[in-house]
């Protein structure tokens, strides 16, 4: 950045130097990287006016660390009862008296020119918000596998590392304080819909060190994330995918209910006459009740709806065809050339294998994970880990799809 400063006018340099910024950091029982974060802030080419720590930890380790820290930038320390990150950030911003707010978290270490680069973009683009761009670091074998199947090795846009005008933050209404995670994604989508002038850092400006260190911690994190996301209107695409899969499985179960559960015994209490017809009518009635009458002539319908419905029907029909293959084409004659033993198991196994290949090879390659790490064998572990996390997230995304369908998700407005 020193070379770039040589080309600034004195007035431009003065504007950058006079930027009034407070760095807000929520902390809860995770002070491992705070010394590195403080040092990273102290080494900024553009120094903030203060650091705001909002601590909801169950211990006093954070206060001890701050008391022992010998830095030049003033630190304001606020101790609160247990709170989610969004709530802690809201408190920090409310107390801060600066014109601009910069966000970090307790595991994100900034580059030395983080604030200067964000400020330059804010000035040049006249932006109200400049988004952070970070790299996810992995220092253990498990973390490297987890990074490969999730964020990858390329830069990712995040709330930590971003800056925003305080008055704009207040206008947005702040973060949803009642959910554990995904409040940052919801907030960014909300300010975008409000028409704020937004831009992002062109290159990574920080490194994140907080990936879960083992499988159990990863499962807990992604389960909690999915359940929190269920309460908001973010990640609608993923929720719709999970809901589509659930609908397919429910359709198959309904179709075969009387065969599997009642054994075609019409005297059984579990036998339901015309169950498939009842199921179909129920789906139509539910849609009419919650969504209103269909209007296919409405020109506001986005392109791609028909294509998605078409592929969805093909998936259902393909699953049904595979399931009934030996009955339709071979009449259960094991001597027939069309008879395929264990075809349903083969079909399900094929879907699982394709999922592992996608999560273990295709997706990591898209996210800049090196070939030397994926091959020859690690792709299997990466894929299995990815599929495991997808299964863990399923309850949350399905619940989110249900809440969205009945209009019960949180949609916070300013």
- The more confidently predicted of residues 240 and 10 is 240
165 φ, ψ to 5°?
-65, 135
Return the pLDDT at 302.
Answer: 44
Q: In the predicted model, what is the mean pLDDT of residues 84-100?
A: 93
DSSP 3-state of 172: helix
Instruction: Look at residue 204 and tell me whether its pLDDT is greater than 70.
Output: yes
Return the pLDDT at 92.
Answer: 95
Return the pLDDT at 414.
Answer: 46
Instruction: Look at residue 300 and tell me whether its pLDDT is greater than 60.
Output: no
- Residue 305 banded pLDDT, cuts 50, 70, 90: very low
Q: Distance between CA atoms of 19 and 127, rounded to whole angstroms?
A: 14
| Sign of the torsion angle spanned by Cα atoms 139, 142, 145, 148 | negative
Q: What is the pTM of this model?
A: 0.74
Q: In the predicted model, what is the mean pLDDT of residues 132-158?
A: 95
Least confident piece of the model among 4-18, 53-67, 377-391: 4-18
Return the pLDDT at 294.
Answer: 43
Query: Quick one: which of 165, 171, 176 has its CA closest to 199?
Result: 165
pLDDT digits (tens, 9 = 90+) for 120-141: 999 999 999 999 999 999 999 9
234 Cβ contact list (under 8 Å, min separation 6): 182, 185, 186, 189
Instruction: Look at residue 321 and tell me whether its pLDDT is greater than 80.
Output: no
- The more confidently predicted of residues 120 and 317 is 120
Q: What is the CATH code of the structural domain delimited by 2-213?
A: 3.90.550.10
Return the pLDDT at 237.
Answer: 57
Q: In the predicted model, what is the mean pLDDT of residues 154-173?
A: 94
At 219, list the tokens. 């499962």
pLDDT digits (tens, 9 = 90+) for 356-390: 999 999 999 999 999 999 999 999 999 999 999 98
Domain ranges of the chain: 2-213, 236-405
Alpha-carbon distances of 300 from 194, 291, 305, 308, 411, rounded to whole Å: 21, 15, 11, 16, 22
Q: Distance between CA atoms of 76 and 57, rounded to whole angstroms?
A: 16
Return the pLDDT at 4.
Answer: 43
């Amino acid at each position: 950045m020193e070379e770039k400063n040589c080309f600034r006018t004195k007035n431009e340099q003065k504007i950058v130097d006079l930027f009034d910024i407070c760095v807000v950091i929520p902390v809860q029982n995770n002070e491992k990287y705070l010394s590195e974060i403080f040092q990273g802030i102290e080494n900024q080419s553009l120094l903030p006016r203060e650091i705001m720590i909002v601590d909801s930890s169950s211990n006093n380790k954070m206060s001890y660390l701050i008391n022992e820290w010998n830095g030049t930038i003033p630190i304001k320390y606020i101790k609160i009862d247990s709170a989610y990150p969004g709530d802690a950030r809201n408190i920090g911003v409310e107390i801060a008296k600066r014109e601009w707010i910069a966000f970090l978290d307790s595991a994100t270490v900034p580059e030395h020119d983080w604030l200067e680069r964000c400020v330059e973009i804010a000035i040049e683009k006249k932006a109200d918000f400049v988004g952070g761009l970070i790299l996810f670091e992995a220092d253990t074998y498990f973390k490297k596998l987890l990074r490969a199947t999730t964020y990858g090795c390329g830069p990712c846009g995040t709330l930590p590392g971003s800056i925003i005008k305080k008055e704009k933050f207040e206008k947005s209404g702040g973060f949803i304080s009642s959910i554990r995670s995904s409040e940052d994604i919801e907030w960014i989508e909300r300010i975008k819909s409000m028409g704020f002038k937004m831009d992002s850092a062109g290159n990574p400006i920080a490194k994140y060190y907080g990936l879960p260190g083992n499988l159990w911690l990863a499962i807990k994190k992604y389960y909690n994330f999915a359940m929190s996301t269920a309460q908001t209107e973010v990640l609608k695409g993923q929720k719709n995918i999970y809901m589509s899969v659930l609908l397919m499985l429910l359709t198959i179960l309904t179709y075969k209910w009387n065969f599997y559960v009642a054994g075609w015994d019409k005297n059984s209490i579990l036998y339901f006459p015309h169950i498939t017809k009842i199921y179909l009518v129920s789906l139509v009635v539910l849609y009419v009740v919650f969504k209103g009458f269909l209007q296919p002539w409405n020109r506001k319908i986005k392109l791609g709806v028909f294509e998605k419905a078409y592929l969805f029907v093909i998936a259902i029909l393909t699953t049904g065809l595979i399931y009934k293959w030996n009955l339709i084409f071979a009449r259960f004659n094991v001597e027939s050339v069309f008879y395929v033993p264990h075809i349903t198991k083969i079909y399900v196994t094929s879907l699982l294998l394709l999922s592992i290949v996608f999560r273990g090879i295709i997706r990591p390659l898209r996210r800049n994970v090196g070939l030397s790490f994926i091959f020859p064998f690690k792709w299997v572990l990466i894929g299995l880990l990815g599929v495991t996390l997808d299964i863990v997230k399923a309850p949350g995304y399905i619940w989110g799809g249900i809440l969205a369908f009945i209009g019960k998700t949180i949609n916070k407005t300013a």
